[in-house]
Every structure is written in structure tokens, then in C-alpha cells.
Chain A
Amino acid sequence: MIEGIRRIQDMMERQSYVTDRAIATTTFLASELRKPVLIEGQAGVGKTEIAKVLATALDTELIRLQCYEGLDVNTALYEWNYPKQMLRIKMEEGRDISVEEQETHIFSDDFLLKRPLLRAISAKDKSPVLLIDEVDRADEEFEAFLLEILSDFQVTIPELGTIKTDHRPYVVLTSNRTRELSDALKRRCMYLWIDYPDFAKELRIITTKIPNINERLARQVAAFMQAIRLVKLNKTPGVAETLDWAMSMMALHQEHLDAETVRETLGSFIKDRDDVAKLRGKPVDILVGSMNGQEEEDLNEWIQSVTQRLEREVASR
């Protein structure tokens, strides 16, 4: 592993972001090659977090563009401040100013509302991190526009002229894969797929984010989540849910899992009514029952066997 990759990994870990080689390598290369990085994965695996951590690590501003269906150029790039323009015109009504003068004035920088993309391009001191979140939710037309921005990092505002970037932003795009992105966009980016963490990584995330958690509880929570993700659910819980749950167990002063408490707190990490109904009864007993007395070495085996039992249980209902 070369120095640069280790440095990124260290920086991420220092901000209690538990990372792995793939994440560190891709992030390092994206910043070295100055290419955007496209991060895909299920909800709740920490995609957005990477941009935040990167911004802190590089000690630079994070500019976020949240995408949604119908997001358009006005919201993403710039808009003129109409109320302010109106006021200015009214204020100067009596004065003898030509239309041209007036126009140059009210279409100047002062009246420009910079939206995230323009802010990222026109950053003053150093390259910011531009996070384009959930790009799969934006329309295809917007994707095409984005492509243009990502290749030139310049925009033309008819009234002002062309704005070029002095500090090319680091770009992070995330997608939940609700639709396929265009090949053109994918080709512009380095690609990173983040899966749910394995047991070791999830345990590390728990103990890093909640340092004073009891070791046994942390292990049990991590194992529980590993098993539950193998059950077919409408909404598979992500890492955020793991942490929420571990926190609530802490708040209840639990030192290990017991079926009753798991049932009571099920809602804090299973966020779909049908799923809760599915798991509430026997499955919780199976999980917790077989877990207590389970030694750490053969956790993987335990996960396999308990999942099979769960599947049978869920299917039989």
C-alpha cells in the first residue's frame, strides 16, 4: 500500500469513520486523478459520510446538492434575487439612470443567488468537496446537465459572462440505484460500491462511534444485525440503524441482549411495520436464544445456521 492511500485511511479513521482498503484506495485515486467518484450502495451504508469525512480531512468546505425528482438548473446552479432586484429598481425610480446602467447593476454579483453547483465552481481559496447526493433521484435531463458541469467546471450566465473555476472541486456523487445512471456519467467517474459491512467492520464501527459501549453488547448487536440482514425484509436496516439501536440499548443500561428488550426496541432499527410484525414473535426468540451462550469464534457459523432457521420460520407463517 502506498503512503497516499494509508494517509487517507488514517485521516478517515481519525474522524471515527471506519473504512477499508477499497474505500481508501478509490478516494485517494479520485483525488489524485481529479476525477469525480460515484459511490453506490444500499441506504445506510455510509455513502454520504465519505464526502463529509473527506471535506474535514482536506480541511475544506463541503458543498452539498441534494437531488430529487424535478430538480432543475435554477435550484442547482443559480437564480437571480428577484425581490432584491425589484426593490432596487423601485428605490431608484426617481433618479436619472439609463436602462443599461440599471441593468448592469441589478444583474451583477450582488444580486446573484449562488446555488450549490455555482458555489462549488466559484470557491475562492481552495478546492471544496462537492457532494451530489442521491443523483439517481434527479431526472435524466439534469444528469446530462451535470455531465457538462463535471467536464468543464465552468458555467455561462448570460448577464455576467462565463465563470471558470480556479479551484476545481473534489466531486462525490452518491446513488441508491433506484435507476441506472447513464453510461456517460458513469464513465466520467471512479466507481465505488459499498456493501453492508461484515461482522468485523460493523463491530469496529460500533465501538468507534460509541466508545463506551460494553464489548459483549457490541458484539451481540453486530452479530444480530448480520443475521437480520440475511432475512428478506422490506427495509433492510443499515449501519445508522445499528448505531441507533446500540445507543438505545446503552440508554436502557443493557449489558447484553435479551428477547424482551429486543422486542421493545425493535422499532428503533426495523422501520417497516410489516417487517416488525414478521420478526416480533418467534424470530426474536430464535435469534436471542441461540445467541446467549454462543462463543465468539464460530460466529459466522452461527449467523449461517440462525439465518436458515429464521427463513424457515418466516416462510412458514
Chain B
Amino acid sequence: MDPVSDPAARARSRLTLKSRARHADLQRHTIAFGRELRQRELLSTSSEIVDALRVMENVDLADRRDVYLGTRAVFMSKPEDQPIFDEVFNNFWRRIAHIDEVDDPNADDEMTSQGEDASDLQEGGEGQQQLRLTSAEGDGGEGDEEGDEEALPLYSPVEMLASKDFSRFQAEEMTEIARAVLVIAKRLATKESRRFRISRKGSQIDARRTMRRNMKYGGTIIELARKRKKIRKPRLVVICDVSRSMDTYSRFLLQFIHAMQNTIGKVESFVFSTSLTRVTEYFKNEDILEALDRIAREVHDWSGGTRIGQSLTTFNQVWAKKLLNRHTIVVILSDGLDTGDAEILRTAMEDLQEHAGKVVWLNPLLGSKDYRPLARGMSTALEHVDVFAPAHNLASLADLSKHLTA
């Protein structure tokens, strides 16, 4: 039949043309959609976008629910992502539908520039400045005593820095301290595991390799291959006080936490002053300064008051079940100057000790000779602490390794 005179065929070919254009649109939109999700910190890279496009080929595009559920399965990677995904999904496709109607050719560009503006606005907030102020305060004062510290005959940069109180460090020394902290953090990572690695002096026999090695003796076991337990890195939960009274220390302690997280691996970190914030994600970034800036920006009560009890209660309620077991060591970094209810703190500490393998409390004030843990919060908490130790300089942090076996 003549295709031109057949209205059905004409309609079909028009349809294919139209759907091809649709497909190009779909691709463009999906890429933009993925980009927007990435800006909202969902796992979205080119491979997810490719997957999302493959999803689109496999579902009914007219069925919004299919598209929603399908793309959600691609872009979501934890339950917390869902509200963000829902919001972006709704706004994005509504916007697209609207744009398509008015047929705006610059739809995509407009969208991305909007997104970028929004994130620009978020940057450089007040928090950032706050943190800078914090370190500036730490820099000032007590310069006269510094000479004594440096005059000591020490042979490695680590040791030179080791005994110096954090409150006396200059900003330029940050990189050095970072290196020192890394050395210490690596030293911490030395716990035995149930898993084995090959070793000549190991205590256990490695059957697979023994067999292999003794083939040459016709299977009579003459040489034994041995293995020994692998070093297991301890699982740590670090909770750091960033309230005002900790200002001189918190920046260094956070840096220490960052280094631990990047060397030890299984570290979950939190900060608190009046409420608790999980910061593990922030520290996944290799750059410590960036991470600190972000924390200062987003932890809204940075340098505020202290409510240890409430913060630990939140931890117990929200995180304990997920993070604590008998292999977990909880390290609390705080001066224990609590303005909250001592009873709440006691209950929280009780709970914490019950569910964790070990509770270590590091107190920077313990470094000064005339400090006694008499503050109400501190003395309450002490009843439920396995280890109470100072944390005012690198040497004291290095000592931490003694306590890190659950």
C-alpha cells in the first residue's frame, strides 16, 4: 500500500519522529535531574544516570509511579535520601512539564544556574567565620611561654609537638600537627582480628598452604605453613564537645578525629554543644580544612553552651543501637563543664556504658596540674567511665592507644 495515502502509516511515522525527539528530551532531562540530585548530595554520577536512562526504557513512561519508583531505586542509597529524592523529583518534573509546555529551549541552563546560585548562597555563612574566630582566639596569648617548649632537645617533629598544649599552637603549625596526628592515628590501628594473614612465625597452621608446600614430599607434612591473626582496627565512636569552653581544643581534637577516621576506618564521629550532630560524612572528605569549615557552617550551635546529658541521650536513642556492640569503644572528648541536668547525664552514661565495649573520657583540662574533676557534670559522668585521661596535647592523644582495646 502507498504509505503516503495510508493515514495510519503517516500517523505512525509522525509518532516515531515525535518520540525520537521525546527521547532526546528525556535524556537531557534525566542528566539534569541527576545533576540536581548530586547537588543535594545523593549518590549520582554518570553511571547512575546511565542506569536511570535504562530504567526509563524499561518502564511505562506515562506512569509517573513507575518512573518514580524506578529512578528512586537507582539514586537512593540510604533511607535518609528519600525525602530529598521525593522533593527533587516532584519539583524537577513539575518544572520540566511546565517548561515543555511553554517550550523554552534554555530550560536546562536555567535550571542549573538556579541550582548553582542556591548553593553559592549557602556557602560563606556565619558559621564559617565563627570557626575562623575560634582558631584566632586559640592563637592569641601565652606566647611568652612558648620558648620553653621549643627549647627542649627533641629529635622528631612529632615529639617536638607532642608535649605542647593545644591551646598554644599557631595556625601555621596546622600542617605539622596534621602530620603528627596521622602518625598517632596509625599507631592506634593495631588490634588483632579473627582473620588471618600468612606469617612465618604465626601461631596457627595454614592448611591450604601447608598442603601446597608439601606436595614435593609426596604429601608427607614436613614443612608447616603458618598464619597469624590479622591486625584488627578497633571500631570507634568519637563524640566531641565543641561548646564554647572547649574552643581552644576542639579544632585540634576534630583534626585528630579526622585523621583517625581516615586511617582507622571504622570511626563514627559526632559533635555536640547543646545538641548532637553526626559528622562522619563531613570527615570523609580528605581535606580537613574544608571539613572543619563545613562543620562550623552546618552545626548550628557551634561554640554554644554545653548540654552533655541531652546530647548523649540523643546518641543513645538514635545511634546506639546501630553503632554500639561489645567491640565498640566510645571516646568522649569534653571538659565536662555541663550546664544541663546531672541526672540526665548519669542515665545517659549508664546506658552508654551498658551497650558499649568501653567508654573512654578524654578531658583536656586534666592536663593542667591543679585540675580536679569536681565540676558537677564531670563527677557524675566519672562513675560510668572505664578510662579517664587527659587530651590536651599530642602525647596524651598518643597514649590513647593503650586504652583502645575493647
Contacts and interface: CB of A to CB of B under 8 A. Distances in A.
A66 interface: no
Contacts of B60: 1-2
Interface stretch (B66-74, B369-377, B392-400): B66-74
Contact of A140 (B43, B63, B215, B265): B265
Given A72-B195, A90-B219, A29 B55 contact: yes
Contacts of B153: none
Contacts of B208: 74, 79-80, 82
Interface stretch (B18-26, B76-84, B180-188, B295-303): B76-84
Nearest to A93: B218
B86 to A, nearest CB: 12
B47 interface: yes
Contacts, number: 111
B215 to A, nearest CB: 6
Interface in A7-40: 21-22, 25-26, 28-30, 32-33, 35, 37-38, 40
Contacts of B10: none
Interface residues of A, number: 49
Interface string A278-312: 00000000000000000000000000000000000
Residue from A37, A80, A191 with most neighbouring chain B CB atoms (10 Å) = A191
A146 interface: no
Contacts of B139: none
Interface stretch (A120-128, A179-187, A210-218, A243-251): A179-187
B219 A191 contact: no
Contacts of A191: 72-74, 76-77
Interface string B147-158: 000000000000
Contacts of B325: 178
Contacts of A29: 55, 58-59, 70, 73
Contacts of B77: 38, 183, 186-187, 191
A32 B58 contact: yes
A208 B82 CA distance: 29
A5 B70 CA distance: 11
A193 B76 contact: yes
B48 interface: yes
A190 B73 contact: yes
Report which residue of B43, B51, B69, B280 has the largest number of chain A beta carbons within 10 angstroms of its beta carbon: B69
A177 B59 contact: no
Given A80-B211, A140-B265, A5 B54 contact: no
Given A2-B60, A25-B66, A82 B207 contact: yes
Interface string A140-155: 1100000000000000
B170 interface: no
B65 interface: yes
A152 to B, nearest CB: 16
Contacts of B54: 33
A174 to B, nearest CB: 14
B45 A33 contact: no
A69 B47 CA distance: 30
A25 B70 contact: yes
Given A33-B58, A93-B218, A25 B211 contact: no
A268 interface: no
B58 A21 contact: no
Nearest to B320: A234
B201 interface: no
Interface in A76-116: 79-80, 82, 85-86, 89-90, 93, 99, 102-103
B12 interface: no
A4 B76 CA distance: 22
Contacts of A40: 78-79
Contacts of B55: 29, 33
Nearest to A189: B77
B402 interface: no
Contacts of A86: 211, 219
B91 interface: no
Given A40-B79, A89-B218, A25 B47 contact: no
A99 B217 CA distance: 9
Contact of B48 (A99, A103, A178, A187): A187
Contacts of A241: none
A240 B405 CA distance: 37
A186 B66 contact: no
Contacts of A195: 79
Interface of B: 43, 45, 47-48, 51, 54-55, 58-60, 63, 65-66, 69-70, 72-74, 76-79, 82, 193-196, 207-208, 211, 215-216, 218-219, 265-266, 280, 317, 321-323, 325
11 contacts: A29-B73, A40-B78, A72-B195, A85-B219, A90-B219, A93-B218, A99-B218, A102-B218, A177-B322, A187-B77, A193-B79
Given A33-B51, A35-B51, A191-B77, 8 more contacts: A1-B63, A25-B59, A25-B66, A40-B79, A89-B218, A102-B218, A192-B73, A193-B78
